[in-house]
Amino acid sequence: MPRRPRVMSRLHVGDLIVRRHRLLKTQGTVLRFDGEDENGASRVWVKWSHPDTLPNPSLEAVDDLELVESTNGANGVNGAA
């Protein structure tokens, strides 16, 4: 059985992300990494910005998340002061 290639994630703790697979692109923040699921996909704990999103925080596959590109460094993300 061919092994899935390991791709280094662009995500880091504190990064702003959105769910890639949902119609409504709920925004959240990466809290911590939590290893891999049974298929070898990396997982992270995400704290969602929307108060009605449950569970909050939730465990999500990295492949289902998209990094929010910050243009102004809001909230000190990506090393901005």
Interval 55-68 mean pLDDT:
92
Between CA 48 and CA 16 the distance in angstroms is: 10
pTM for the full predicted model = 0.70
The answer on pLDDT for 72 being more than 70 is no
Q: Model confidence over 3-53: pLDDT tens digits?
A: 444 444 578 999 999 988 777 778 999 999 998 888 888 999 999 998 888
Interval 52-75 mean pLDDT:
81
Give residue 35's domain range. 16-69
Amino acid 80: pLDDT:
43
Nearest partner of 11 among 37, 41, 40, judged by Cα = 41
Q: Where are the beta strands (DSSP E) in the chain?
A: 16-19, 27-36, 42-48, 58-61, 65-67
The CATH number of whichever domain residue 30 belongs to comes to: 2.30.30
Are 28 and 46 within 8 A, CB to CB? yes
75 lies in a domain?
A: no
Q: Count the domains in the chain.
A: 1
Amino acid 41: pLDDT:
86
Are 30 and 17 within 8 A, CB to CB? yes
